[in-house]
Amino acid sequence: MRWGMVIEQKRCIGCNACTLACKAEHFLPPEILWNRVLISETGKYPTVNKLIYSIRCNQCDEPKCVDACPTGATRKREQDNIVIIDDNECVGCRYCMIACPYQARSFYEDGDAEYFPGQGQTEHEKMGKVLYPHQVGVVQKCIFCKERIDDGLAKGLKPGVDRDATPACVIACPTMAMHFGDLEDPYSDINRLIKEKKGKPFHPEYGTEPSIYYIE
């Protein structure tokens, strides 16, 4: 089993719903983003094309970050290839951030940061301290909402099909530009999309074998 994602760029409108859903799901602190939406333009007026990329950790099959981590804090889960970070083993050296060719990692260093500086923490921030505490001085990144996947599988649900077992960014997308499933299942919807619409990963020349594919 190897979880993966397909993103249809023509459907993506750059609304950042995926970014906000991730923030809310994981109670991410200020200035910490596990996924981002990059928007750029090519060409000259009046023939200008807008390029929109929803990006996050690519959950590589050959991750450079795992090789760079001196403590083994960054590793792949054997059951599904999701790349995770063990907060208790991370020493904050940030070698993984340098090794990642996709710049998909963040370092959490300010545990007192507030979304509204000087006004105190919101109720959502206070709740996050209890439900999803983040350890200061460690590296963070997208984990494909592994908690939702694990809980869903335990209940007999299918990730990518059942909402409660699917990453928050995928189910939050208003245009259904994002798809999730098993890359090792030849009959999964994402494999069909990759084949029919010629999905491609970012920078395959890096040799990391990303698990996220993009359809133009």
How far is residue 157 from each of residues 1, 150, 162, 190, measured CA to CA in Å? 15, 10, 6, 17
**What pLDDT is stored for residue 216 in this prediction?**
86
**What pLDDT is stored for residue 181 in this prediction?**
97
Compute the distance between CA of residue 129 and CA of residue 126 in angstroms, rounded to an integer: 5
Strand partners, 139: 107
Q: Which domains does the chain have, with CATH numbers?
A: 3-215 (3.30.70.20)
Q: What is the pTM of this model?
A: 0.91
Compute the distance between CA of residue 139 and CA of residue 171 in angstroms, rounded to an integer: 26
* pLDDT one digit per residue (tens) for the chain, 216 residues: 999 999 999 999 999 999 999 999 999 999 899 999 999 888 888 888 888 999 999 999 999 999 999 999 999 999 999 999 999 999 999 999 999 999 999 999 998 899 999 999 999 999 999 999 999 999 999 999 999 999 999 999 999 999 999 999 999 999 999 999 999 999 999 999 999 999 999 999 999 999 999 998
Lookup: tokens for 168: 């928050």
159: left (phi over 0), alpha (psi -120 to 50) or beta: beta
Strand partners, 179: 6
Compute the distance between CA of residue 4 and CA of residue 40 in angstroms, rounded to an integer: 25
**What pLDDT is stored for residue 80 in this prediction?**
94
Compute the distance between CA of residue 197 and CA of residue 216 in angstroms, rounded to an integer: 8
